[in-house]
Structure 1
Amino acid sequence: MNPFEWLFDATLTIGDQQILWREIVGNGFGLASALGGLRRRVWAWPVGIIGNALLFTVFLGAVFDTPNPVNLLGQAGRQLLFIGVSIYGWISWARHRRSDGNAVEPRWAGWKVRIALGLGMIGGTLLLTPIFRALGSFEPVWADAWIFVGSFLATWGMAKGWTEFWLIWIAVDLVGVPLLISAGYYASALLYAFYGVFTFIGFLTWMRVQRRSAAAAEITRAG
């Protein structure tokens, strides 16, 4: 068995549960990408794309004949969405990368954008829920749709440098953990729970960066 076949088929057995190693590895890449986003490094995007490609195959369990035959269409579809938005973010951050390695200056999105994001979360979930249900996604389908829409908006917000994107991730994690547990994707559920704490730290970190930047700008103006 070559390394690719091993990564695709190998499982970790815990009790009576089988967890795909590519689910673990894919989520590991996702965690590394989140860390890169916290540090505002360009490499966060290509690392995330690798994880997205692996997790796409994981969440179409019935299609790829995995030990977990549950299809989470929102989870699978969002991996493709991630790849598309990540390419945009990769190009944008690379273009604006500074000499210190930071690729984006955190900023508030503003109330108009916040309202648009909130309406987008609710409206997108309502729109996609019946579509995902018709395609056979796992119940509760609204949760899968919520995660799909929120993931897109959070990734787009990260590419734009909006500090609020961390809060969108928290909203995604709160719904994602119970959904993934009920669907039997335990490795992903565990990582989502960790993400919930990590994203809160990321939110506080980006706020501190904003305060330092504002203080430095004020000193420059005063001088």
Structure 2
Amino acid sequence: MNESISVFGFSTSLLELSSFILSVITVFLNIRQRHWAWLFSILASGLYAAVFFDARLYGDMALQFVFIGVSIWGWWLWLSGIKESSASSPRWLTMVERWVVVVVWMVVFVPLAWFLKSYTDTDVPYVDGFLTAGSLVGQVLLSRKKIENWHVWIIVDVIYVGLYMYKNLMLTAILYAIFVVMAVTGLKTWSKACQQ
């Protein structure tokens, strides 16, 4: 599944292509608030773990396993619609919660970047660590149906486009460019749903 194929004029693998397709389906279903998004997220994350291991993006690789766990939790939250989980409809964070999100992002980033720099052979420990920490924050916010998850994904996805181009994962760079557009759409859709 790791043999090289050509898609859109870019060299990729069937593994990366499969991950790409499942990931687009995931975000499309997330925007529409369909619980099946979590199943596609689990499948895409499992495949992308192998893609990122091959690219020496160990933070991203480990993140895929976290995504699988958070996806199981998110799926449960979305299906149960528990009031105290705020999973029944999208909601905005309070100003204090927004600051907590920023602090948590940085608190996760610093040791993660240090670990990647000290104990792996990655050539991008700081970017990998920053984006991995941001993706964790975004995934938790998405699971809790917090509208700010889309802000996090826009920031993270824009930077990921450059990282994946640098790593010559062109199909994945295109995917994350599509994710930026989808995140903007998700932000508008969820904001509108919150006003109703």
Per the TM superposition, whether the score is higher than 0.5 is yes
Over residues 62-97 of structure 1, what are the superposed CA-to-partner deviations in whole Å (9 max), with x where a residue is unaligned?
xxxxxxxx3101110110010010010011111129
How far 1:9 sits from its partner (Å)? 3.1
Residue 169, structure 1, aligned to residue 162, structure 2? no
1:114 aligns with 2:98: yes
Q: Is the 8 A contact 1:74 1:148 kept in 2?
A: yes
C-alpha separation between the residues in 1 aligned to 2:187 and 2:7? 34
CA RMSD of aligned residues (A): 1.9
Single out whichever of 172-181 and 119-128 deviates more from structure 2. Answer: 119-128
Q: Is the 8 A contact 1:53 1:80 kept in 2?
A: yes
Could you tell me which runs of 5 or more consecutive residues in structure 1 were left unpaired when the two chains were aligned.
Answer: 1-7, 62-69, 98-102, 213-223
Equivalent residues, number: 192
1:12 aligns to what SS in structure 2?
A: strand
Aligned residue number for residue 14 of structure 2:
21
Matched residue type, 1:208: K
TM-score for the superposition, normalised by structure 2? 0.91
- Alignment match, 2:113: 129
Larger Rg: 1
**Identity percentage over the alignment?**
24
Under a length normalisation based on structure 1, what TM-score does the superposition of the two structures give?
0.81
Distance 1:185 1:136 in 2: 20
Structure 2: gaps spanning 5 or more residues: none
Q: Deviations over 1:9-45 (max 9, x none)?
A: 3421369963111111112111111111111111000
Letter in structure 2 aligned against 1:120: V
**Residue 93 of structure 1 pairs with residue 86 of structure 2:** no
Residue aligning to 1:205: 189
Look up the equivalent residue of 1:11 and give its one-letter code: S
1:143 Cα deviation after fit: 0.9
Which gives a bigger RCO, structure 1 or 2 (Cα 8 Å, sep 6+)?
A: 2
